[in-house]
């Protein structure tokens, strides 16, 4: 049966990497019907809204989307489409698997961890105002409900994937109430999972631990801001932003997107690495129950990335986005 998927190409390198991902997912034999929508600056200029209602309705109808990156104006302009989308659809868990790709040059080997980021509140609540000239207040919202829900999600993920340990990351020594509540909820939930080890780390120490001993960690659960920052750090451990996928998950809706942004410095040059979005597409196929198609893409990707001549330049190769994609499609067809 054909599965309907909302497609958001995004901007910057978004259209280049989504075109690649669509080609590769279709080559896997998956019967997907794409429903394409614009977001961000283009949507704002055309409709007056960076996140048009038609786009949200399409995702609500199909319950699954593949999303390219969308730029956010810095210091002014509309609020992040990415943050708004997650909030509007209550996509409370941002899941980013950080796994070593065999034979891909990276700082570490044998890394297999999952970053679980709370996606709906924290410092990304977007509530800020000028108190008096020269003084700005930006509110960090932490609730028992969202903290408990994300902690439970992380332990359930650990249980389903046979993982051994969940580590909460916080700054409860300074933000005693806000991060204190996040931690309290985490430890309360942990008691329901006695077979899974649980512990916590202060975020600055965690940053150091991840750079020096990343292979000691398994599942990390973090409030929004720390999750955003540390998942880019984790991407750097296994080959960079070009290779790490992600999923924004709610109770019923799932939006798959890479960790990286719109990379304006390389947009339109046909050099972006589409791997991260293609791997997000693999997560999408698995989510839809298309295990065989997912395996085909995954295996071809591992083989292509192991071959220096097929890689894009961010991971040490010379291939363009389209050359990499062509080679990947050939591998899938041959597989």
* CB nearer to ligand NAI: pick between 41 and 209: 41
Instruction: Tell me the torsion sign for CA atoms 95, 100, 104, 109.
Output: positive
Which residue has the CB atom at the shortest distance from ligand NAI?
261
* CB nearer to ligand NAI: pick between 68 and 223: 68
* Minimum CB–partner distance for residue 11 and ligand NAI (Å): 9
* Minimum CB–partner distance for residue 243 and ligand NAI (Å): 8
* CB nearer to ligand NAI: pick between 13 and 91: 13
Instruction: For residue 260, give the nearest of 249, 246, 278, 279 by alpha carbon.
Output: 246
Instruction: For residue 124, give the nearest of 87, 155, 90, 94 by alpha carbon.
Output: 87
Task: Single out the catalytic residue among 11, 67, 87, 171.
Answer: 171
Region binding ligand NAI by CB under 6 A among candidate stretches 55-63, 117-125, 131-139, 260-268: 260-268
* Minimum CB–partner distance for residue 266 and ligand NAI (Å): 4
* CB nearer to ligand NAI: pick between 77 and 289: 77
How far apart, in whole angstroms, are the C-alpha atoms of residue 292 and residue 43? 36
Q: Which residues are bridge partners to 168 per DSSP?
A: 200, 221
Give CB contacts under 8 A, 24+ apart, made by 137-144.
140/175, 140/178, 142/177, 142/178, 142/179, 142/181, 142/182, 142/223, 143/181, 144/181, 144/185
The contact mask relative to ligand NAI for 64-103 (x = CB under 6 A, - = no) is -----xxxx---------x---------------------
Q: Is residue 241 a contact point for ligand NAI (CB under 6 A)?
A: yes
Let me know: does 255 contact 248? Beta carbons within 8 Å.
Answer: yes
Let me know: does 137 contact 275? Beta carbons within 8 Å.
Answer: no
Q: Respond yes or no: is residue 3 known to be catalytic.
A: no
Q: Respond yes or no: is residue 232 known to be catalytic.
A: yes
Catalytic residue positions, numbered: 124, 171, 204, 228, 232
């Amino acid at each position: 049966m054909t599965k309907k998927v909302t497609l958001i190409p995004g901007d910057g390198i978004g259209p280049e990497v989504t075109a690649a991902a669509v080609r590769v997912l279709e080559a896997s034999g998956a019967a997907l019907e794409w429903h394409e929508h614009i977001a961000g600056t283009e949507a704002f200029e055309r409709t007056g809204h960076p996140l048009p209602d038609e786009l949200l309705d399409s995702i609500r109808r199909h319950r699954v989307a593949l999303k390219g990156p969308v730029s956010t104006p810095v210091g002014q302009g509309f609020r992040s489409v990415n943050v708004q989308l997650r909030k509007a659809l209550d996509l409370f868990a941002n899941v980013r698997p950080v796994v070593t790709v065999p034979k891909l040059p990276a700082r570490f080997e044998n890394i297999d961890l999952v970053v679980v980021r709370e996606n709906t509140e924290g410092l990304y609540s977007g509530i800020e105002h000028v108190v008096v000239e020269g003084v700005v207040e930006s509110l960090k919202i932490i609730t028992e409900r969202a903290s408990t829900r994300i902690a439970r999600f992380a332990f359930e993920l650990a249980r389903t994937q046979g993982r051994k340990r969940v580590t909460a990351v916080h700054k409860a020594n300074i933000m005693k109430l806000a991060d204190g509540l996040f931690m309290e909820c985490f430890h309360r939930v942990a008691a329901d999972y006695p077979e899974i080890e649980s512990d916590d780390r202060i975020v600055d120490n965690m940053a150091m631990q991840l750079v020096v001993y990343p292979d000691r960690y398994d599942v990390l659960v973090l409030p929004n801001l720390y999750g955003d920052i540390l998942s880019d750090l984790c991407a750097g451990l296994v080959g960079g932003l070009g290779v790490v996928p992600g999923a924004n998950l709610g109770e019923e809706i799932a939006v798959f997107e890479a960790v990286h942004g719109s990379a304006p410095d390389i947009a339109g040059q046909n050099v972006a690495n589409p791997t991260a979005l293609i791997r997000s597409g693999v997560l999408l196929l698995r989510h839809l129950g298309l295990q065989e198609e997912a395996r085909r893409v995954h295996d071809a990707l591992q083989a292509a990335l192991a071959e220096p001549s097929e890689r894009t330049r961010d991971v040490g190769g010379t291939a363009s986005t389209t050359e990499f994609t062509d080679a990947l499609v050939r591998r899938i067809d041959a597989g």
